Chain A
Amino acid sequence: MYGNDFAAADPSGGDLLGQVEAAEAALRAAAARGRGGAVTSGADPEAYFADVIDADQKIEPRDWMPEAYRRTLIRQIAQHAHSEIIGMQPEGNWISRAPSLKRKAILLAKVQDEAGHGLYLYAAAETLGVSRDELVDLLISGRQKYSSIFNYPTLTWADVGVIGWLVDGAAIVNQVPLCRCSYGPYARAMIRVCKEESFHQRQGYEILHTLAHGTPAQRAMAQDAVDRWWYPSLAMFGPPDGDSTHSAQSMAWKIKRFSNDELRQRFVDMCVQQAQTLGLTLPDPDLRWNPERQAYDFTHPDYDELMRVISGDGPCNRQRMEHRRRAHAEGAWVREAAAAYAAKRVGRREKVAA
């Protein structure tokens, strides 16, 4: 949910899977096109790096890359991975209380996907020379952050629906452009993630649609969840462009392709019609179509709140971190037992060989 870059020229057009497939096709096309061929890798690695980026080709793990490019990617991919891992908690909270066996099975599959997304991303980060244990340690010791959105509580079943629709929806708007990121392993991981996210968003929307067309109490529950999650979802795109620290360099390196505000606008424009179909109201009295801009005017989220939540003062920060630390510590015996078993079997095999 971190890097923001965007692919297709048309923001609203084309469904999610279409955009992901377009990114995949572009990846192959750029590779097939080749570059001018003038710059070779051995002579001038810096020029070679620039040449590959210019040609929209991918930088791969064993290529030379500027140290700052490597560090930026490690930070971004790691925080993205941490977000997927912590993101299991708000929804996991409802697995035991899902309203039917079908909903429960679906939610389990979705939370398992989030774990998988975290692992794809950790693996992509590791190709940059950082170890898994270091990454886990950076999260657990609080030295690296995860997306602020997961520090909000899931109070009702409708929140599970809203997380799928708005939170995963915002994540997708952020992530689809990352399928075109200049770093190969990250781009490939994002293609996988985005294909799976599309199921998440739809299942959330379906939960809300069911509630919104249910009893008055169910409807009210759905509306309440939308009211609570709308602004935190808008804040997921990060601070406004003027205050965004990493943007310009990331754009030049084609890690990021669109600004925070561009992506936020794209998300708002998508949500308005989807909310109408649900028959729910987005909690913004100033939300209206602006024919001059060909986009919706909207109220920005409280960015001071975003900064407070990021710096640890959100409603659930401590709970999320405590839970992650406990789960990691309580799982230690499983890791140790598996390692001991593997070592024992290696020992046995060596004895047989001797």
Chain B
Amino acid sequence: MSEGTGQRGGREPSPLWEVFVRARRGLSHTHVGSLHAPDAELALRHARDLYTRRQEGVSIWVVPAGAITASSPDEKDAFFDPAADKVYRHPTFYEVPDGVAHL
């Protein structure tokens, strides 16, 4: 970073895209990495060449990296706090009397 020159001949860098691939029918899309491309169509084509050379997917999403809003790890504890004291959301919280079926 500190080694960077800062001067790039005036050209805007090509936008960054995050790539999500559905490996097989029935599975959800999973983040596999990122790439640079000038537009969505080329991003899709590059994603195919880069991340599915070995039939790793049946569907690809490309998302402009700048369009993703992420929670920050610094706020981690406070942000996820509301879920911490609600163990009753899990079925294992409840005691079921012996001999009760289909529950």
Contacts and interface: CB of A to CB of B under 8 A. Distances in A.
Nearest to A43: B77
B3 A129 contact: no
Most chain B CB within 10 A, of A141, A342, A345, is at: A342
Contacts of A342: 38-39, 42
Q: Kindly state the interface size class of chain A when it binds its partner.
A: 35 or more
B53 A116 contact: yes
Interface stretch (B4-12, B85-93, B94-102): B4-12
A42 B2 CA distance: 27
Interface in A19-75: 40-42, 45, 60, 62-64, 70-71, 74
Given A41-B77, A336-B11, A131 B53 contact: no
A252 interface: no
B4 A130 contact: yes
Contacts of A116: 49-50, 53
A123 B77 contact: no
Nearest to A78: B3
A300 interface: no
Contacts of B3: 134, 138, 143-144
Given A138-B3, A189-B33, A339 B77 contact: no
B76 interface: yes
A130 B6 CA distance: 11
Interface in A315-350: 335-336, 338-339, 341-342, 345-346
B14 A123 contact: no
Interface in A108-127: 109, 112-113, 116, 119-120, 123, 126
A133 B34 CA distance: 15
A62 B72 contact: yes
Contact of B77 (A40, A188, A335): A40
Contacts of A129: 1
Interface string B71-91: 011111110000000000000
A64 B72 CA distance: 10
A337 B80 CA distance: 46
Given A138-B3, A338-B42, A126 B14 contact: no
Contact of B36 (A63, A132, A134, A137): A132
Contacts of B2: 71
A109 B49 CA distance: 11
B38 A339 contact: yes
Given A71-B1, A113-B53, A336-B11, A345 B33 contact: no
Contact of B39 (A41, A64, A131, A341): A341
Given A40-B77, A41-B74, A138-B4, 15 more contacts: A40-B76, A42-B74, A42-B76, A71-B2, A119-B35, A129-B1, A132-B13, A134-B5, A188-B33, A335-B11, A338-B42, A339-B11, A339-B38, A342-B39, A346-B39
Interface of A: 40-42, 45, 60, 62-64, 70-71, 74, 109, 112-113, 116, 119-120, 123, 126, 128-134, 137-138, 141, 143-144, 188-189, 192, 196, 335-336, 338-339, 341-342, 345-346
Minimum-distance CB pairs A-B, first 4: A342-B39, A342-B38, A134-B4, A338-B38
